[in-house]
Chains A and B, each alone.
Chain A
């Protein structure tokens, strides 16, 4: 499969796949729908809007590169499009907060960074 032009490859975008057969969205990219097996997938770009599902602020990182960023907040966000994703977020985010994505640099890579929607 071609690499997607999204944050995992350094582009300012969150992408997902939508199944043409069962209409299930999926975030982890594959050549088929993990819910029904269909290969009728459409590539979509997510709005970057969602709701915080869970948070954990990392205070002890394991590598010199990540340690330079401590503290950083790992968040799980339920996107408006119906899939869940892991990202970074503002350290004051609470579960249930409505958020929007911007992008930040972490260990030299682009990562999605969620903040409270205004």
Chain B
């Protein structure tokens, strides 16, 4: 049995002058204090990576910088799925008795630490160096390819995708830490600059600075009782050229295993936190996970199903699309928000019931997946 005992999150957007280590430290401090622990009680550290300041031993560098001497520490790299993959590993390490309190931390000054072009170039390297990268694809193009096929097979339209951008923006409006605070409409998304068809600027998450952290413990350390019920991964390919058919992607495999391990059914879930690097990512994952039927996720957005007061509130902080995306920390904000919702600390964003939550992360081009169920004990 393991618990998420503390969470920490900075605002996302510009943090001029702060390094990746600074942002990781801020988030870590918040999470440890939220758990009611002292730094010295943390005996395990899992951290992600920083594209701005790459290092072969980032967890050790962070431990020294932060001033702790853990008995277990290393970095984890699974692209956008890193946050949940670290949480899954922390769960197993704690459950196996290897460590008592694992600090999971991610943070990066991806916006102010490098140019947006440099960021796009760095990320495009997830492509195959010989067979893809020489063709000049961008991350939006990889997802644009998937979007074109998904729209073709399931009759999804660009207006449908726009609904997800509007929903995430609507949610971000109520979170002071979000990168974007201007309301947008479907028409605004449709009129935004083309990036890689069918995706336009507002279909894409921004590049941000920010940090997020949590503590995974064997026993509760405070009043919060958020238990990890079960989690699972799936990795079907790395490069989009080698991706399987849409009906055989990893999200469906990971969620099936997570359901089996945890004994939780989709009908038990009250809150959803789903990776949303692009509008198409969110639309596809919701349908792969069984939170909407094929081609029907957008209709559920329009009907208010995924709104704060709907039957399945989704990414109430605004997601990657509008809270922001600072790399590894990006999707960790989804878990922080889920924790706040599950412990009735989400303020004006509080949903009625977040007793059971489903989280899902995706790395690469729908390449690596982690599904996880949390339950309020």
Contact = CB atoms under 8 A, between A and B. Distances in A.
Say whether A and B bind each other.
yes
Contacts of B97: none
A54 B138 contact: no
A56 B141 CA distance: 6
Interface stretch (B67-75, B120-128, B293-301): B120-128
A83 to B, nearest CB: 9
B117 interface: yes
A86 B136 contact: no
- Secondary structure at the A interface, as helix, strand, loop or mixed, is strand
A28 B130 CA distance: 9
B147 interface: yes
A8 B197 contact: no
Interface stretch (B156-164, B188-196, B307-315): B188-196
Contact of A86 (B124, B132, B146, B149): B132
B135 A88 contact: yes
A39 to B, nearest CB: 20
A117 interface: no
A17 interface: no
B121 A63 contact: yes
B318 to A, nearest CB: 23
A63 B121 CA distance: 8
B145 interface: yes
Most buried by B among A8, A29, A55, A111: A55
B121 A60 contact: no
Contacts of A95: 148-149, 152
Interface in A57-78: 57-63, 66, 69, 72, 74-76
B236 to A, nearest CB: 13
Interface string B189-207: 0000111111100000000
A85 interface: yes
Contacts of A84: 241-242
Please give me the 8 A-B residue pairs with the lowest Cβ-Cβ distance, nearest first.
A56-B144, A62-B120, A66-B136, A59-B194, A54-B145, A54-B149, A57-B197, A56-B141
Interface of A: 8, 27-29, 53-63, 66, 69, 72, 74-76, 84-88, 95-96, 106-107, 109, 111
Given A28-B128, A28-B242, A106-B136, 19 more contacts: A54-B145, A55-B197, A56-B137, A56-B140, A56-B144, A56-B197, A56-B199, A60-B140, A62-B120, A63-B117, A69-B136, A74-B135, A74-B136, A74-B145, A86-B241, A87-B135, A106-B135, A107-B134, A111-B134
